[in-house]
Amino acid sequence: MSKKRKLKVSMGDQTLRLLTLLMAISVLVLMVWMGWQMFDAARPSIQKFGLGFIIGRVWDPVKEQFGALPFIYGTLVTSLLALLLAAPIGLGVAIFLNEMATSKFRVVVGFFVEMLAAIPSVVYGLWGIFVLAPWLRETVEPGLAKWLGFIPLFQGTPIGFGMLAGGLILAVMILPTIAAISREVMAAVPDMQREAALALGATKWEMIRVAVLPYAKSGIMGGIMLGLGRALGETMAVTMVIGNRPDILLSLFSPAYSMAAVIANEFTEATYDLYLSALVEIGLILFGITLLLNFFARILVWSVARGPKGGNLV
Amino acid sequence: MGQTLSVRQLEAWYGSNKTLKGINMEITSNHVTAIIGPSGCGKSTFVRCINRMHETLPGTKVKGEIILDGESIYAQDPVALRKMVGMVFQKANPFPSMSIYENVVAGVRLNGMRNKQNLQSIAEKSLRMAALWDEVKDRLNYSGMSLSGGQQQRLCIARALAVEPSVLLMDEPASALDPIATMHIEELIRQLKENYTILIVTHNMQQAGRIADSTAFFLNGELVEHGPTSEIFTNPNDKRTEDYITGRFG
Amino acid sequence: MNDYLRKYRNWMMLGVFIAATIIALIPLFGVLGYVLKNGLSALNLQFFINLPKAMGMPGGGMANAIVGTLIMVIIASLIGIPIGILAAIYLTEYDRHSWLSTAVRFATDVLTGIPSIIVGIVIYTALVLKMGNFSALAGGLSLAIIMIPLIIRSTEEMLKLVAHSIREAGYALGISKGKTILRIVLPTAAKGIITGAMLAVARVAGETAPLLFTALGNQYWARSLNEPIASLPVQIFQYATSPYKEWHQLAWAGSLVLISIVIILNLVARFAFRSRSI
User: What residue ranges define each of the domains in chain A, with the CATH number in brackets?
Assistant: 31-187+222-292 (1.10.3720.10)
Q: Do residues C205 and C138 lie in contact, with contact meaning Cβ atoms separated by under 8 Å? A: no
Q: What are phi and psi of B168, to 5 degrees?
A: -120, 120
Task: Note whether C91 contacts A: Cβ–Cβ < 8 A.
Answer: yes
Say what the pLDDT of residue C61 is: 83
Average pLDDT over residues C192-210: 95
pLDDT on residue A6: 41
- Tens digit of each residue's pLDDT (9 = 90 or more) over C3-24: 888 889 999 999 999 999 999 9
Q: Which residues pair with B67 in a beta bridge?
A: B6, B72
Over its C-alpha atoms, chain A yields an Rg (Å, rounded) of: 24
pLDDT for A5 equals 39
Nearest Cα of chain C lies from the Cα of B239 at a distance, in angstroms, of: 36
Q: Are strands B71-72 and A65-66 parallel, antiparallel or unpaired?
A: unpaired
Under DSSP, the state recorded for B218 is: E
List residues bridging with B143 in a β-sheet.
B99
pLDDT of residue B250: 63
**Binary contact (B77, A2; C-beta < 8 A):** no
The rounded distance, in Å, linking the Cα atoms of A260 and C208 is 12
Domain C48-272 CATH assignment equals 1.10.3720.10: yes
pLDDT for the residue numbered C274:
61
A268 — contact with chain B (CB < 8 Å)? no
pLDDT, one tens digit per residue, over B116-167 is: 999 999 999 999 988 889 999 899 999 999 999 889 999 999 999 999 998 9
Buried b (16+ CB within 10 A) or exposed e, A6-35: eeeeeeebeebbebbbebbbbbbebbeebb
What share of chain A in percent tops pLDDT 90? Answer: 56
Cα–Cα distance for residue pair A225/A311, rounded to 1 Å: 16
Task: Report the predicted TM-score, pTM, of the whole model to 2 decimal places.
Answer: 0.90
**Region B5-94+167-245: CATH code:** 3.40.50.300
Distance, in Å, from the CA atom of B242 to the CA atom of A274, rounded to the nearest integer, reads: 88
Q: What is the pLDDT of residues B65-101, one digit of tens each?
A: 999 988 899 988 899 999 999 999 999 999 999 999 9
Domain map of chain B by residue range? Answer: 5-94+167-245
pLDDT of C56: 67
User: Over the range C150-160, which residues count as b (16 or more CB within 10 Å of their CB) and which as e?
Assistant: bbbbbbbbbbe
E strands along C96-145, which residues? none
Q: What is the pLDDT of residues A133-183, one digit of tens each?
A: 999 999 988 888 888 888 888 888 889 899 999 999 999 999 999 999 999
E strands within chain A? 59-60, 65-66
CA distance B16 to B19: 9
One-letter amino acid for residue C8 of the chain: Y
Interface test with A, best of C116, C151, C208 (most A CBs within 10 A): C208
Q: HSE of A248 in the Cβ direction (CA atoms, 13 Å)?
A: 13
A41-91 pLDDT, tens digit each = 999 988 888 888 888 888 888 888 888 999 999 999 999 999 999 999 999
Q: Compute and round to an integer the Cα radius of gyration of chain B.
A: 18
For residue range B203-213, what is the model confidence (pLDDT) as tens digits?
Answer: 888 899 999 99
What is the CB neighbour count within 10 angstroms for residue A225?
Answer: 23
Q: 4-23 in A: which are within 8 Å (CB) of C?
A: 9-10, 12-13, 15-17, 19-23
Q: In the prediction, which pLDDT does A201 show? A: 87
Round to whole Å and give the CA distance between B152 and C60: 62
* Whether the Cβ atoms of residue C213 and residue A267 lie closer than 8 Å to each other: yes
Q: List pLDDT tens digits, range B1-46.
A: 566 889 999 999 998 899 999 999 999 888 899 999 998 888 999 9
**What CA–CA distance (Å, rounded) separates A20 from C84?**
9
Put the strands of the sheet holding B32-36 in their side by side order. Answer: B85-88, B167-171, B197-201, B32-36, B214-219, B222-228
Q: CA-to-CA distance for B247 and A74, rounded, in angstroms?
A: 77
Residue B113 pLDDT:
87
Return the pLDDT at A309: 42
Query: What are the chain B neighbours of A16 within 8 Å (beta carbons)?
Result: none
Q: Is C182 on the interface with B (CB under 8 A)?
A: no
Structural contact between residues B62 and B21, judged by C-beta atoms closer than 8 angstroms? no
Number of neighbouring beta carbons within 10 Å of residue C246: 18
Residue C196: its H or E element:
helix C186-205
Q: How confident is the model at residue C63 (pLDDT cuts 50, 70, 90)?
A: confident
Instruction: Give Cβ neighbours of residue C114 (< 8 Å, ≥ 6 apart).
Output: A34, A233, A287, A290, A291
> Predicted confidence band at A307 (pLDDT cuts at 50, 70, 90)?
very low
Report how far residue B51's alpha carbon sits from residue B39's, in angstroms, rounded to the nearest whole number. 21
* A290–C109 CB contact, under 8 Å: no
CA B191 to chain centre: 15
pLDDT, residue A299, reads: 83
Which three-class secondary structure state does DSSP give residue B18?
strand
B97 with C171: Cβ contact below 8 A:
no
**C50 falls in which pLDDT band (50, 70, 90)?**
confident
Which neighbouring-strand residues pair with B65?
A: B8
Q: What is the mean pLDDT of residues C42-49?
A: 81
* DSSP state, residue C20: H
- Closest Cα partner for A126 from A242, A240, A253? A240
Best CA proximity match to B30, nearest among B193, B173, B200 = B193
Is residue A312's pLDDT more than 50? no
List all residues 6 or more positions away from B180 whose beta carbon is below 8 Å from its beta carbon: B150
Residue A1: the pLDDT is 38
Domain limits of chain C? 2-42, 48-272
What's the mean pLDDT in C27-44? 91
Q: Tell which of B79, B81, B85 to mutate to test the A interface (max A CBs under 10 Å).
A: B79
Q: Check if the interface score ipTM surpasses 0.90.
A: yes
Q: How confident is the model at residue A313 (pLDDT cuts 50, 70, 90)?
A: very low
What is the distance in angstroms between the Cα of C262 and the nearest Cα belonging to chain A? 7
**Rounded distance, CA B230 to CA B207, Å?**
13
**Residue A156's pLDDT is what?**
84
Mean pLDDT (whole number) for B231-236: 89
Of B71, B75, B77, the CB nearest to A8: B77
B200 has which bridge partners? B34, B170
Average pLDDT, chain C: 91
Confidence of residue C54 (pLDDT cuts 50, 70, 90): confident
For A156, left (φ over 0), alpha (ψ -120 to 50), or beta? left
